């Protein structure tokens, strides 16, 4: 058997690729220079695929390469249809190794300390220009949140569904729409899946409705997490609270910080740096990197980071990042690159691809968006307070309450139309929209029971 054939057989026999150093260990009788020439020839002939550069370069046989590295067919693989850079291929070469071949690693504070807002850039200037061009809407000069409010109904469905899907939720997009728009749970689904969707809806509404004041501070972050984690954590006290115990990351050798004081200090630094970043996309991506890496909460860290990443986009009236069509395995592999290597390239490539998918979806529907009802927009806070008052006063006649508050607080010229609008909102009220009005399901049930019995 020739030495070239021996090398090719060894490369084909490895499921996770092989480096030149590993080949030399397998074949000590073959001179290194000779092996390098022969492997280079195999690559040139298409019999071997080379991935990565320098010491990270690994060789894959063409018959196995479809099942390894960026083209692995198992559930944890990174899909081939998402373009990645050579740097990202290096990350994949490492994290696609078995757990026992990867070096256990803890939280690297230097990774965060070395980032200087508006001096360090995870996204290059040309990439930021590209993203701004993709995400630009005609509402860019309008008040913060104008665009996200205009697309809110669609946004609630898409982002709730896609973000939940990345956590293994089996609701379909249509199931999600039925739940959000009509309050109908999908048949055969676990209660935890329904809760996850509804929590996303509440958290997105919280962000959009408070976008003028929402910032990257402890208050905003804790409340996003609280909304996302409601009724989903073993200990309800962990909702919206920094974790006070160690956590493990599944299928990873990464070990996050476990001391409460250290977690709290690092989170302050993350939020302080994030709040200083001037570019919306850099700010968005920074949170996508550092919030999951720190793991400040007992669970639901990645979900929190995905919504937090949208805050600067909502505020700047850019298209949202909905994560539509993002495969779970792509997201998990990219996140592993952060956890185990403190490297952002793979997540960056995925972020850009995912944002392009989102903008294509939203710019396609932009022409079909109806202009917001001026009356509803002007008086939205009053409408919500009035609905809340009606439902929390079940002993009173709803129409009398509406008539009274409209008469005493609203200019006469718009009283009639606004009263009709509130009545219509009340007729459409269902459990899927209660958070919008600050109502609890128990309050709605009590009100409905009184007034349904009155009708009968």
pLDDT digits (tens, 9 = 90+) for 32-55: 888 889 998 888 877 888 876 666
pLDDT confidence bin for 12, thresholds 50/70/90 = confident
Task: Give yes or no: residues 331 and 390 share one domain.
Answer: no
SS3 category, 106: strand
The pLDDT tens digits of the residues spanning 151-161 come to 898 999 999 99
Res. 271: pLDDT tops 60: yes
Confidence of residue 68 (pLDDT cuts 50, 70, 90): very low
In a domain, 116, yes or no: yes
Indicate whether 349 and 392 sit together in one domain.
no
Spatial neighbors of 296 by CB under 8 A, at least 6 apart, are 242, 243, 263, 266, 267
The pLDDT tens digits for 200-240 are 999 999 999 999 999 999 999 999 999 999 999 999 999 99
- pLDDT value, residue 66: 39
For position 52, what pLDDT does the model report? 66
pLDDT value of residue 16: 67
Residue 43, domain member (yes or no): yes
- DSSP three-state, residue 318: coil
223 and 206 in contact (C-beta within 8 Å)? yes
Q: Which two tokens stand for residue 294?
A: 């720190």
345 to 84, 294, 353: CA distances (angstroms) = 9, 18, 12
- Tell me: the pLDDT tens digits for 420-430? 889 988 888 88
**Co-location of 169 and 282 in the same domain:** yes
Same domain, 235 and 285: yes
Domain boundary among 312, 333, 366: 366
| Mean pLDDT of the residues in the chain | 89
- For residues 246 and 264, state if they share a domain: yes
Residues 361 and 387 in one domain: no
Question: What percent of the chain is modeled with pLDDT above 90?
Answer: 63
Last residue of a domain, one of 19, 52, 67: 67
305 and 243 assigned to the same domain: yes
Q: Is residue 97 part of a domain?
A: no
**For residue 435, what pLDDT band results from cuts at 50, 70 and 90?**
confident
Query: What percent of the chain is modeled with pLDDT above 70?
Result: 91
The secondary element (H helix, E strand) that includes residue 255 is strand 254-255
- Does residue 76 lie in a domain region? no
| 307, 250: one domain | yes
- Beta strand 58-61 with 48-51 is antiparallel
364 pLDDT tier (thresholds 50, 70, 90): low
Mean pLDDT, range 293-297, rounded to an integer: 98
Provide the token pair at 385. Answer: 């307070």
Q: What is the pLDDT of residue 137?
A: 86
Q: Is 279 within a domain?
A: yes
Tell whether 276 and 172 lie within a shared domain.
Answer: yes
Range of the domain at 61: 3-67
Number of domains present in the structure of the chain? 3
Answer with the one of 311, 333, 366 that is the final residue of a domain: 366
- 84 inside domain: no
Band of residue 18 on the pLDDT scale cut at 50, 70, 90 = confident
Q: Which residue has the tokens 């009708």?
A: 455
Indicate whether 72 pLDDT > 60: no
Looking at the fold, whether 305 and 406 belong to one and the same domain comes out as: no
> What confidence score (pLDDT) does residue 433 get?
79
Does residue 92 sit within a domain? no
Q: How far apart are CA 56 and CA 58, in angstroms?
A: 6
- What pLDDT score does 64 carry? 41
> At 221, which CATH number?
1.10.3290.10
Cα 406 to Cα 378, 383, 410, 418, 421, distances in angstroms:
14, 10, 5, 8, 11
CATH number of the domain residue 51 falls in: 1.10.10.10
Q: Please state, in angstroms and rounded to a whole number, the distance separating the CA atoms of residues 268 and 255.
A: 20
Cα gap 390→402, rounded to integer Å? 7
CA–CA separation, 287 and 220 (whole Å): 13
Regarding whether 278 and 140 lie in a shared domain, the answer is yes
Q: Is position 82 within any domain?
A: no
Tell me the pTM: 0.69
Residue 318 and residue 269 share a domain: yes
> Is the backbone of residue 190 left (phi > 0), alpha (psi -120 to 50) or beta?
beta
Q: How many residues does the chain have?
A: 456
């Amino acid at each position: 058997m020739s030495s070239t054939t021996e090398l090719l057989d060894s490369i084909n026999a490895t499921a996770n690729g092989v480096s030149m150093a590993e080949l030399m260990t397998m074949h000590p009788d073959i001179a290194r220079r000779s092996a390098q020439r022969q492997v280079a020839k195999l690559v040139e002939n298409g019999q071997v695929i080379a991935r990565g550069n320098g010491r990270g370069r690994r060789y894959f046989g063409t018959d196995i390469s479809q099942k390894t590295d960026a083209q692995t067919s198992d559930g944890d693989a990174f899909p081939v249809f998402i373009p990645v850079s050579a740097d990202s291929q290096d990350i994949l070469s490492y994290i696609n190794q078995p757990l026992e071949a990867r070096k256990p690693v803890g939280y690297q504070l230097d990774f965060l300390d070395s980032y200087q807002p508006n001096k360090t850039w995870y996204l290059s200037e040309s990439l930021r220009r590209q993203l701004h061009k993709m995400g630009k809407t005609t509402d860019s000069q309008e008040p913060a949140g104008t665009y996200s409010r205009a697309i809110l109904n669609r946004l609630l469905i898409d982002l709730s569904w896609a973000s939940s899907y990345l956590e293994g939720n089996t609701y379909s997009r249509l199931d999600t729409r039925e739940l959000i728009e009509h309050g109908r749970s999908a048949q055969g689904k676990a209660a935890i899946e329904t809760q996850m969707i509804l929590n996303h809806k509440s958290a997105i509404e919280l962000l959009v409705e408070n976008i003028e004041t929402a910032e990257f501070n402890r208050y905003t972050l804790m409340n996003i997490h609280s909304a996302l984690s409601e009724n989903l954590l073993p200990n309800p006290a962990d909702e919206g609270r920094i974790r006070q115990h160690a956590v493990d990351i599944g299928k990873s050798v990464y070990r996050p910080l476990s001391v409460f004081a250290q977690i709290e200090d690092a989170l302050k630094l993350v939020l302080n740096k994030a709040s200083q970043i001037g570019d919306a996309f850099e700010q968005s991506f920074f949170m996508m990197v550092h919030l999951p890496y720190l793991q400040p909460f007992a669970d639901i860290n990645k979900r929190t980071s995905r919504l937090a990443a949208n805050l600067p986009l909502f505020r700047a009236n850019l298209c949202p990042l909905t994560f539509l069509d993002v495969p779970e395995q792509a997201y998990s592999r990219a996140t592993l690159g952060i956890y185990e290597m403190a490297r952002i390239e793979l997540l960056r490539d995925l972020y850009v691809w995912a944002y392009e998918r989102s903008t294509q979806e939203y710019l396609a529907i932009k022409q079909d968006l109806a202009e917001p009802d001026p009356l509803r927009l002007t008086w939205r806070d009053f409408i919500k307070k009035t609905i809340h008052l009606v439902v929390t006063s079940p002993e009173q006649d709803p129409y009398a309450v509406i008539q009274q508050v409209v008469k005493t607080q609203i200019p006469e010229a718009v009283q009639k139309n606004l009263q009709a609008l509130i009545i219509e909102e009340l007729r459409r009220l269902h459990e899927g929209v209660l958070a919008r009005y600050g109502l609890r399901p128990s309050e709605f049930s009590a009100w409905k029971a009184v007034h349904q019995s009155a009708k009968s």
